[in-house]
Amino acid sequence: MKSIPIQELLPYLPHRPPMVWVDEVTKFSSTDGECLVMIKADALYMSSNGLRASSCLEFIAQAFGFVWSCYLTRTLDPASGPMKRAMLVSFKDAHFARPEVLSQVVPGDVLRVPIEGVRAVGSITAFLGKVFKGEELLCEVQMRTFCE
C-alpha cells in the first residue's frame, strides 16, 4: 500500500500543528494499521533528553485516529465526514523503554507505530498500540478512545 501523508487526513481529526505528531499512515484495516513518525528536533514531543516517554502515548492515540479515519473514509464510507469529537478515555498497562533508550531517539529517526486488535463498541474503541525504533520497543499500551 502506498503511504498516505497526514496532510491528506487532517480534515478528519481536530488536531492541528504543532500537535500533529504523526507523519504517514502506511497500513489500515478494520482491525489493524500502522503509522510512521519522522522525528524532528523542534517538535513538541522532544525534550533536551531526547524523546519523552509520554510522547509515545500521543503517537499511539493519534496513529489510531488517523488509521481509523483512513478505514472509515477509504473503505467503509467515502462520504464520511470529520470526527466531531475524538478523545482518549483511558489506557492501561503502559510500559516504556528506559530513559537511556529514549534519549537515543534523535532527529531523522523514523518510529513505527502499529495499532492492533481494534474493536469498537458504540462510540468506544479499544486497541493495542506500540512504538518501535527499528526492532526496539519504546512503548506498549492498551487504549480506549471515544470517537463520534
Partner 1 sequence: MIEPAKVFHSLQEAGDCLSRDWVIPADLPYFEGHFPGNPIFPAVGIVDASICVLSSVLSDPGLTAPVILVAKFTHPLVPGDQVRIDCKNLNGREWSVEWIKGSAKPYASLRIEVGT
Using a 10 angstrom Cβ sphere, with 0-12 exposed, 13-18 middle and 19 or more buried, the burial of residue 78 is exposed
Distance CA 39, CA 110 (A): 6
Stretch that binds partner 1, among 43-51, 72-80, 115-123, 124-132 (CB under 8 A): 43-51
Q: Which residues from 77-116 bind partner 1, rule CB under 8 A?
A: 87-96, 98-99
Q: Which is nearer to partner 1, 27 or 144 (CB)?
A: 144
Residue 19 found at the interface with partner 1 (CB under 8 A): yes
Task: Please choose, from the candidates 1, 7, 81, 77, the residue with its C-alpha nearest in 3D space to the C-alpha of residue 33.
Answer: 1
Go through the chain and tell me how many residues it has. Answer: 148
Which residues sit at the interface with partner 1, rule CB under 8 A? 14-20, 41-48, 52-55, 57-58, 61, 87-96, 98-99, 141
